Chains A and B, each alone.
Chain A
C-alpha cells in the first residue's frame, strides 16, 4: 500500500513537472523516460533470465522502420490512429522477429549469446542501410500531428512517461508470476531448472519476445518523436550499451534499478557534464569501472546491504551449536 501511494505520488509529480521546467529539461526528462524504459525492457532478458544481449538496439531500429513503412503503405494521414497503429505494429513486428530468431539464438549462452545479438543488430543495420527499399541510408519521414497546440517536447514527455509506466508494470507482473520465477531460475542455473521441470525453452522464448516487443514499441515511438530518421539514428550501438550500463549501475534484475541507473547516468552525462562533450566517453567509462569494482550489485544492491547489514553480522556466537 505504501509502495502504491509512493508510485501514485511519483506519477502525479511527474505529470505536473513540465509546468515548472524549461523546455530543455523537459527534453532531458523525456529522454530519461525513454532510456529507463529501454533498460527495463532489456532487463527482462538480461536481468531476470541472465541472457545479456549486446544488440537490443536492433529492435529500436526495426520498430521505427516497421512503423514508418506500415503507415506509409496504408496511406494513413497523421493523427492519433496513425501513431497508435505505427507503435503497435513496431512492437508486433519486433516480437515476431524475435520469435523467429529465438529458437536458434537462445541455444547460445553467456558471452556467445551477447555477441550473436551484437552480430544480428549489425547485420540488420547494414541491410537497412544498403537494401534500397528500406531507405535507411537516405532516411525516412514519419509524420506526426500533435493534439491541440501542445509543444512537442511536452507531448512526448507524457507519451514516454506513459510507456515507462507500461514497461515497469509489465516487468512487475512478469517478476511476480510463475513466468518470472521461471526466468529467475534460468538465471541461477539453467540446467538444474530444466531438470526440475521448468520449461526453460518456452520461458526463454517468451521472455525474449516480450523484451523485444517492448523495445520495438519504444523504438517506434522514438522514431515518431524524431520525425525524420536514418539507420544511424535508430540502430545505435550506444543504445545497446546504455541499456546494460543503466541496469548494471542501478541493480540488475530489479525493477527500480534500471530506472535509478538511467536517472543517475543521464544526470551525470546530460546535466552535470552537458558542457564538456569531449569527456563523455571518459566519464562513462570511469563510472562503469568504479561501479563494477565498488558495488557489483548496483545501487539497489548497496541499498539492500545497508538495510540488512545489522542482521547479517550478529555478535560472535559462543559456539556453533548455539548459533544454530
Chain B
C-alpha cells in the first residue's frame, strides 16, 4: 500500500514538474539556448497568480490564461532584443550568461518588491483531498496534474498540427532552409521563446497552489527543468512528461525509502548518470538535426 501511495505521489508530483519544464525544453530544443531565466518565469507566474487571486479573487486555475498571454510578449521581447543580441555579438554560451545575469536582476527585484518571504496561494479547496481505494491525493495536486496534462497536450498539438508549430519545427531543424522557404526566422525564434516563457509562467500560476514559493525558489525550478529535460529528452512535450514523471517518482521514492534529506542528492546523481549514459534523454531530440 505504501508503495502504491508513494508511486501515486510521485506520479502526481511528476505531472506538475513536466509542465514546469516544457517551456525550458522547447527553448533549449528549438533555439539551443539554456534559459537560466526559466525559473524566474515560473516564479513570476506564481506571483502574478497570487496577485490576481488576492486582488480580483481569480482562481489560479483560470489565472493561467492572462499570465501566459502576458509572458508570451515578455518572452518575445526578451529574446529578440536581448538574447539575440548576445548570440549575434558573442556566442550561444554568452547567451547563457546573459540569461543568468537577468535572472539575478529579476530575483533581486522580486525580493525588493515581494520580500524574500515564502508565499502560498490558498484557494478554498486547498486543504481537501480525494481518497480512492485507500489512496489519498491532495485536491490541489490533482488539479495541478490536470492542468499540466491539458497544457502539455495543447502544446503537442500546436507543434504537430498547426502552421505555427510547423514553422517552429522548421526553424529549429534548419534556420537557413526555413528562411529560404519564406519563414521570418528571427520572428519565429522570438515566438518560440515567447511560447516557452508563456508555458513556464502558466505552470507557475498553477504551482503557486501546489507548492510554497519565494524569489529564491527560481533556482530550484531552473535546475528541475534541466533535469527533466535531460531525463526525458530535449524539445518535445512527451519527453518533458516522461522526464517529469521519472523525476517525480525518483524524488518521492527517495523521500520515502532513503530519507527526505537525500532527495536532492539522488536527483542530481540520476542527472549525472543519465548525462553519462544517454546525454540526449530517453526520447532523444524531437527536432532531429537541431542538435
Interface size class of A (residues with CB under 8 A): 35 or more
The DSSP consensus for interface residues of chain A is: helix
CA distance A198 to B129 in the complex (A): 62
Q: Are A282 and B104 in contact (CB under 8 A)?
A: yes
CA distance A235 to B85 in the complex (A): 34
CA distance A296 to B109 in the complex (A): 26
Q: Are B262 and A130 in contact (CB under 8 A)?
A: yes
A286's partner among B34, B101, B230 (CB-CB below 8 A) is B101
Residues of B within 8 A of A284 (CB): 101, 104
CB contacts under 8 Å to B, within A256-297, are 278-282, 284-289, 292-293, 296
B53 at the interface (CB under 8 A from A): no
Q: Are A123 and B275 in contact (CB under 8 A)?
A: no
A108 at the interface (CB under 8 A from B): yes
Return the chain B residue nearest A50 by Cβ: B93
A193 at the interface (CB under 8 A from B): no
B108 at the interface (CB under 8 A from A): yes
CA distance A105 to B272 in the complex (A): 8
CB contacts under 8 Å to B, within A116-142, are 116, 118-120, 122-123, 126-127, 129-130
Q: Are A289 and B101 in contact (CB under 8 A)?
A: yes
A–B pairs, 10, beta carbons within 8 Å = A110-B93, A111-B34, A119-B268, A119-B271, A122-B265, A123-B272, A281-B104, A282-B109, A286-B101, A289-B101
Question: Shortest Cβ distance from B264 into chain A, in angstroms?
Answer: 5
Known: A285-B105, A288-B100. 4 other contacts (CB 8 A): A115-B275, A129-B261, A285-B100, A285-B104
B91 at the interface (CB under 8 A from A): yes
B66 at the interface (CB under 8 A from A): no
Per-residue A-contact encoding for B256-272, CB less than 8 Å = 1, 0 else: 00010110110011011
Residues of A within 8 A of B261 (CB): 126, 129-130
Q: Are B94 and A123 in contact (CB under 8 A)?
A: no
CA distance A119 to B226 in the complex (A): 11
Asked if A115 meets B230 with Cβ closer than 8 Å, knowing A120-B272, A122-B268, A289-B101, the reply is yes
Q: Are A292 and B105 in contact (CB under 8 A)?
A: no
Pairs of residues from A and B, 3 with the lowest C-beta to C-beta distance, nearest first: A285-B104, A288-B101, A296-B90
Question: Shortest Cβ distance from B198 into chain A, in angstroms?
Answer: 23
Residues of A within 8 A of B226 (CB): 115
Question: Shortest Cβ distance from B35 into chain A, in angstroms?
Answer: 11
Asked if A116 meets B105 with Cβ closer than 8 Å, knowing A292-B86, A292-B97, A293-B85, the reply is no
Q: Are B230 and A296 in contact (CB under 8 A)?
A: no
B102 at the interface (CB under 8 A from A): yes
Q: Are B97 and A288 in contact (CB under 8 A)?
A: yes
Residues of B within 8 A of A287 (CB): 101
A52 at the interface (CB under 8 A from B): yes
Residues of B within 8 A of A118 (CB): 223, 268
Q: Are B275 and A108 in contact (CB under 8 A)?
A: yes
Residues of B within 8 A of A129 (CB): 261
Q: Are A296 and B91 in contact (CB under 8 A)?
A: yes
Residues of A within 8 A of B104 (CB): 281-282, 284-285, 288
Question: Shortest Cβ distance from B83 into chain A, in angstroms?
Answer: 10
B165 at the interface (CB under 8 A from A): no
CA distance A122 to B96 in the complex (A): 20
Asked if A286 meets B105 with Cβ closer than 8 Å, knowing A115-B275, A130-B265, A296-B90, the reply is yes
Asked if A104 meets B112 with Cβ closer than 8 Å, knowing A126-B261, A281-B107, the reply is no
Q: Are B265 and A293 in contact (CB under 8 A)?
A: no
Q: Are A119 and B96 in contact (CB under 8 A)?
A: no
CB contacts under 8 Å to B, within A283-324, are 284-289, 292-293, 296
Q: Are B100 and A107 in contact (CB under 8 A)?
A: no
B111 at the interface (CB under 8 A from A): yes
Q: Are A285 and B103 in contact (CB under 8 A)?
A: yes
Question: Shortest Cβ distance from A29 into chain B, in angstroms?
Answer: 25
Question: Shortest Cβ distance from B213 into chain A, in angstroms?
Answer: 17
- Determine which residue in B111, B268, B269 has the highest number of CB atoms from chain A within 10 A of its CB, and name it: B268
Question: Shortest Cβ distance from B285 into chain A, in angstroms?
Answer: 13
A112 at the interface (CB under 8 A from B): yes
Per-residue A-contact encoding for B112-125, CB less than 8 Å = 1, 0 else: 10000000000000
A248 at the interface (CB under 8 A from B): yes
CA distance A296 to B98 in the complex (A): 11
Q: Are B94 and A292 in contact (CB under 8 A)?
A: yes
B279 at the interface (CB under 8 A from A): yes
B89 at the interface (CB under 8 A from A): yes
Residues of A within 8 A of B163 (CB): none
Residues of A within 8 A of B96 (CB): 111
CA distance A32 to B102 in the complex (A): 25
Return the chain A residue nearest B109 by Cβ: A282
Question: Shortest Cβ distance from B63 into chain A, in angstroms?
Answer: 27
Q: Are B108 and A282 in contact (CB under 8 A)?
A: yes
Per-residue B-contact encoding for A224-255, CB less than 8 Å = 1, 0 else: 00000000000001000100110010000000
B276 at the interface (CB under 8 A from A): yes
